[in-house]
Amino acid sequence: MAAEHQHAYESVNVALGERSYAIHIGDLGLGQSNLLRDLLVPHIGGSQVAIITNDVVGPLYAHVIAEALPDFHVDLYQLPDGEASKTLETYGLLMDFLMQARHNRSTTLIALGGGVVGDLVGFVAATFQRGVSFIQVPTTLLAQVDSSVGGKTAVNHPNGKNMIGAFYQPAAVLADTGVLQSLPQREYAAGLAEVLKYGVIYDAAFFQWLEANADALRERDGTALGYAIRRSCEIKADVVSDDEREQGRRAILNYGHTFGHAIENLSGYGTWLHGEAVAIGMVMAAALSQQVAGLDQAQAHRQTALIQKLGLPVSLSGKSLEPSAFIAAMGMDKKVVDGRMRFILARSLGDVFVADDVPEAELLHLLETFL
């Protein structure tokens, strides 16, 4: 724990050998501070910096970062907001920008924004001049607890999300709890879905803590958020350090996601946010776990109750979905191995495992009752 007069933060180390880096979490003063400078400057090797953000986040926070770096040549690039920016076309525009502004191999890119900006800028950093340093300043809860941890960077292709990318670690991650105050409510709750997921997949005590602190989290209390983000990052860092390139255990991070992806695909773009679809997906994963993995009903109910308490959906409202279409949508999902149905199931809260051979009849039973 490191502390300053007004600002307090904690750090989580992501242990990946020479690619290790720290995530600093807390009130980092993306409003005023010297602390910001102290956290950024050690990771800037040369004299050039490019802050890459979007047209929602940039106007709110880019100037604070630029002002914290008076001794550097700082360029700013603002992308249009939204997932539509995560393309090879935008990637090309960023490359043009870096070359026109004469950034060299010692430049440092700062990704300021949610997962869209982080994924895109990370991929630019991985490939510009064969790789330059980058710092993540995630500004959504989802980006702070999920997308900025683990080194996956990517852009989308018309044939699929995240189809072009690289594993590339940042030099540091600065997760400022203060910036979450300006996040729209649905986006905020969607991030809480991933936080809750960490409790279910890894840490029953953390799940209990979330139950006890759900109100504080809904109110975006800084102290509660600081702990929730820290514990989430520790858990993701633990899982990722064991399995940087997703050979095995990292798959547990996809709890609820196979169902979630199918919900997202079938409901039509924009109906559910990713985190909302994952929340419903976790309810489905728990139901399947009750059927085939011995999860007891009381624990499944606790998960549903917490999801609701955090302001997230637990069922599909409106039109029902066809089980066969749902299975097809899951089949297209990249989490299917050798054509078998693979699910992350829970034995109990805090204890999940990869089930490779879930019988189709069990899945159909679940879908018929749930959809």
Ligand X SMILES: NC(=O)c1ccc[n+]([C@@H]2O[C@H](COP(=O)([O-])OP(=O)(O)OC[C@H]3O[C@@H](n4cnc5c(N)ncnc54)[C@H](O)[C@@H]3O)[C@@H](O)[C@H]2O)c1
What is the size of the binding site for ligand X (CB under 6 A)?
26
Q: Does residue 183 touch ligand X according to CB under 6 A?
A: yes
Q: Does residue 179 touch ligand X according to CB under 6 A?
A: yes
Q: Does residue 57 touch ligand X according to CB under 6 A?
A: yes
Q: Which of 24, 103, 194, 231 is catalytic?
A: 194
Q: Which of 246, 265, 335, 347 is catalytic?
A: 246
d(CA 245, CA 88): 23
| Number of separate helices (H) and strands (E) present in the chain | 15, 12
What the block records as the tokens of 194 is 């991933």
Nearest approach, Cβ of residue 204 and ligand X (Å)? 24
Please pick, from the candidates 35, 116, 263, 287, the single residue that binds ligand X as defined by CB under 6 A. Answer: 116
Spell out, one character per residue from 150 to 169, where the chain touches ligand X: x when CB under 6 A holds, - when not: x-x--------xx-------
**Interior CA angle at 356 toward 355 and 358, to 5°?**
75
**Known active-site residue 319:** no
Q: Assign residue 80 a region: left if phi > 0, alpha if psi is -120 to 50, beta otherwise?
A: beta
350 φ, ψ to 5°? 95, -5
DSSP strands (E only) in 41-89: 48-54, 73-79
Q: Does residue 114 touch ligand X according to CB under 6 A?
A: yes
Please pick, from the candidates 83, 244, 246, 362, the single residue that binds ligand X as defined by CB under 6 A. Answer: 83
**Known active-site residue 254:** yes
**Known active-site residue 130:** yes
3-state secondary structure of 353: strand
- The secondary structure element, H or E, covering residue 157 is strand 152-157
Please pick, from the candidates 4, 10, 81, 351, the single residue that binds ligand X as defined by CB under 6 A. Answer: 81
**190 burial type by CB count under 10 A (0-12 exposed, 13-18 middle, 19+ buried):** buried
Q: Which of 5, 130, 159, 319 is catalytic?
A: 130
d(CA 191, CA 312): 10
Please pick, from the candidates 54, 107, 133, 258, the single residue that binds ligand X as defined by CB under 6 A. Answer: 54
* Residues labelled catalytic: 130, 152, 194, 236, 246, 250, 254, 257, 261, 274
Using CB under 6 A as the criterion, which residues of the chain lie in contact with ligand X when the complex forms? 54, 56-57, 81, 83, 86, 113-117, 119, 139-140, 142-143, 146-147, 150, 152, 161-162, 179, 182-183, 187
